[in-house]
Structure 1
Amino acid sequence: MSSWEAAKRRMYDVFGHVPRPEHADGCSHCVAPGEDRPLLAGPVGSIEAAALARYAAKALNTWGGVAEFRYFLPRLLECAAADDFGYPDPEIVFGKLASADWRVWPEEERDAVAGFLGEWWHETLRRHPVRPSIDTVVCALAATGMDLAPCLEIWSRLDTDAAINHLHDFVLTGLSGKRLTNAFWDRHSPAYQQTLTWLTGGPAAAAVEAAFAAQTREPLLELLAEIHPALLPPHGDG
């Protein structure tokens, strides 16, 4: 079993103690009577993504509270990480972790969630192309309220073809001038500034320069050369 599959399995194991709700009621204007029944009819891991999508969009807002959210959590994150919902977007689903204040949950649950998030990042950097895109993954991780420094430090190594391709993609699609373009970014959040500083304050440029010096393959050298100017700090800042 891969470390990514093990992280998903651990989520199911750790949150398996959360009691199945008798009902998962929602706002009467937003959730039809009995709409929760298909979600509670069998094991949480067997819920089809299409059936869970409406709950995923409304959870903690107009459908259920933290107790129900914790019950569905392993399946919610599994589907969101695979971009299986279509809507809601992964950034919305992962942002609900912050709304549920997951960092004050019991230690075993926090560790399981943190392990899942970390392995999702590793799994993303292992492959290219990926779904969801690197821009979505970074923004979704930021939406949880986690510290992105370890993720950015791993990415800075640029030690795989996939990592280089992902940085190229991110610079072309997720960065415009000195701002991040994903509409789900909270531009007042520490994670936004952390990511933007890494990209445009010098660290990413230094990583590209180191990778360029170590790389010998022309296609990758071209990718690195293309994005390097966008990552240089403004004159006098670094």
Structure 2
Amino acid sequence: MSRHRQQLMTALDALDRAFASEEPFSVTGCTYCYGAQDLTELGGPLDLMAEDLVSAVAAEVPSHWDDFPRLYRRLTPRIIRSAVTGQLHVDEDLIASRLLAADWTTWDAPLSRALRDVWSAWWQATLHTHPGPVPVKRVLSLITVATGNLRPWLDLWTATRTPAADARLADLIDAVLVEFEITDLHMGFYDEYHATPELLDWLLTDVRDRADDVRLDEPYLLERHRDHTALPESP
């Protein structure tokens, strides 16, 4: 296992320990979609929950639960570990949106700090590994929406000049140039983060010398870039 993958596993283990203080509780919610046995299981030991039940909660709308923030917080280590390893089979954008709905940044400091450490370790492992279990665009979208900030992750990518990082860059370009998605790209299940201005500028300036893709020279793309860079800054 590479050093960065090991650091990611260490961060995930630390996440488990930080959330160990989240005690079992009586889960109540939609009994049409979830039977009594499901609710009992969700309120029991975290490591005994079935993977498909964890996936269901990861994707479910908050209104299905009487105390959605507490339930999602308690299941966060299971949800995030499965997401990071590519085993959750739930849209990464949806996970980010659910974390926002659960107000994860307001959780007790040890919990939110452990989650932030996972974001950093996951991003580093992504930039140093190719291929990986989760496509780079999905990783970038999740951590961007969850943290409300795209630029720090792009800056780390700029500073990471490795074959894996460049291969990931090629993958990202392929993903965002389909039908010129990059010209109006929103991240998050509910389009919480408009990524086009920052991401397009980054691709055409910061890392253009590392991207061997003539599609980045398309006049339409360059025009959209000029439009965004010409926009007045918000007060």
Instruction: Give TM-score, length-normalised by structure 1.
Output: 0.79
Q: For 2:160 and 2:129, locate their aligned partners in 1 and report how far apart those are by CA, in whole Å.
A: 13
* Aligned match of 1:196: 196
Q: CA deviation at 1:74?
A: 0.7
Q: For 1:79 and 1:34, locate their aligned partners in 2 and report how far apart those are by CA, in whole Å.
A: 23
CA gap 1:139/1:13 in 2 versus in 1, 3 angstroms = same
Q: For 1:210 and 1:127, locate their aligned partners in 2 and report how far apart those are by CA, in whole Å.
A: 21
Q: Does 1:90 align with 2:92?
A: yes
The structure with more helix, counted as a fraction of residues: 2
Q: For 2:225 and 2:92, locate their aligned partners in 1 and report how far apart those are by CA, in whole Å.
A: 38
CA gap 1:230/1:14 in 2 versus in 1, 3 angstroms = farther
Q: Does 1:160 align with 2:188?
A: no
Partner amino acid, structure 1, of 2:217 = P
* Aligned match of 1:174: 176
- Alignment of structure 1 residues 60-139 onto 2, 5 Å: 60-63=62-65, 64-86=67-89, 88-139=90-141
Number of residue pairs matched? Answer: 218
Partner amino acid, structure 2, of 1:198 = E
Q: Are the aligned partners of 2:58 and 2:79 in contact in 1 as well (CA < 8 Å)?
A: yes
Q: For 2:130 and 2:73, locate their aligned partners in 1 and report how far apart those are by CA, in whole Å.
A: 31
Partner amino acid, structure 1, of 2:189 = F
Q: CA deviation at 1:179?
A: 2.4
* Aligned match of 1:206: 205
Q: Which runs of 5+ in 2 are unaligned?
A: 230-235
Q: CA deviation at 1:30?
A: 1.8
- Alignment of structure 1 residues 212-227 onto 2, 5 Å: 224-226=212-214
CA gap 1:225/1:91 in 2 versus in 1, 3 angstroms = closer
* Aligned match of 2:15: 11
Partner amino acid, structure 1, of 2:39 = D
Q: CA deviation at 1:122?
A: 1.2
CA gap 1:184/1:224 in 2 versus in 1, 3 angstroms = farther
CA gap 1:116/1:162 in 2 versus in 1, 3 angstroms = same
Q: For 1:123 and 1:46, locate their aligned partners in 2 and report how far apart those are by CA, in whole Å.
A: 28
Q: CA deviation at 1:135?
A: 1.6
CA gap 1:230/1:117 in 2 versus in 1, 3 angstroms = farther
* Aligned match of 1:219: none
CA RMSD of aligned residues (A): 2.7
Partner amino acid, structure 2, of 1:55 = V
Instruction: Write out per-residue CA displacement over residues 182-203 of structure 1, whole angstroms, 9 at most, x where no aligned residue.
Output: 78361xx4x42xx3223322x3
Q: CA deviation at 1:5?
A: 1.2
Q: Are the aligned partners of 1:8 and 1:74 in contact in 2 as well (CA < 8 Å)?
A: yes
Q: For 2:171 and 2:185, locate their aligned partners in 1 and report how far apart those are by CA, in whole Å.
A: 13
Secondary structure in structure 2 of the residue aligned to 1:147: coil
